[in-house]
C-alpha cells in the first residue's frame, strides 16, 4: 500500500509539471499562471538576442526541470546554457509590467515586442 501511494505521488508530480509549459488561451500563448508570453523581433530563429539588461524587463520563459518540448513548442539553449521556451523557433518572454493574467501591456513596446500567438 505504501509503495502504491509513493508511485501515485510520483506520477502526479511528473504530470503536473507539464502544465508549466506555455499553452494557448484566447488566441495567444500564456504561461501556466495565465500570463501573456511575447516574442522579440530582434531574436533569430532558435536564438535569443535579449541580453541581461533586456532580461530585467523581459524575463525568459524557462521550462521547469523535466518538462519536455512537443510540437511547435520547443526549447532553445541560451548563451548562458539555460533553456528557454520557444514557439516555432522564436524565444518566448514575459513582461514585468503585466501584473495579472490577461494583461498584454507589452504588446507593441518599442515596435519590436509582440504577443505570441499560436
Question: What burial class does residue 115 get, using C-beta atoms within 10 Å of its C-beta: 0-12 exposed, 13-18 middle, 19+ buried?
Answer: middle
The residue-averaged pLDDT of 67-76 equals 90
The residue-averaged pLDDT of 33-43 equals 97
Domain that holds residue 47: 2-115
- The three grid cell numbers given for residue 65, joined into one nine-digit string: 526541470
Question: What pLDDT does 24 receive?
Answer: 83
Question: What pLDDT does 20 receive?
Answer: 59
What's the number of domains the chain is made of?
A: 1
Compute φ and ψ for 9, nearest 5 degrees. Answer: -60, -40
Residue 106: is its pLDDT beyond 50?
yes
The residue-averaged pLDDT of 29-49 equals 96
Question: What pLDDT does 23 receive?
Answer: 81
State pTM to two decimals. Answer: 0.80
Amino acid at each position: 500500500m505504501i509503495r502504491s501511494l509513493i508511485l501515485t505521488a510520483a506520477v502526479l508530480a511528473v504530470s503536473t509539471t507539464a502544465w508549466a509549459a506555455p499553452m494557448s488561451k484566447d488566441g495567444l500563448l500564456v504561461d501556466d499562471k495565465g500570463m501573456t508570453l511575447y516574442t522579440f523581433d530582434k531574436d533569430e530563429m532558435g536564438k535569443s538576442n535579449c541580453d541581461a539588461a533586456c532580461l530585467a524587463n523581459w524575463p525568459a520563459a524557462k521550462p521547469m526541470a523535466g518538462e519536455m518540448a512537443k510540437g511547435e513548442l520547443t526549447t532553445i539553449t541560451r548563451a548562458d546554457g539555460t533553456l528557454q521556451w520557444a514557439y516555432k523557433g522564436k524565444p518566448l518572454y514575459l513582461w514585468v509590467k503585466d501584473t495579472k493574467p490577461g494583461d498584454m501591456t507589452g504588446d507593441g513596446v518599442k515596435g519590436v515586442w509582440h504577443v505570441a500567438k499560436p
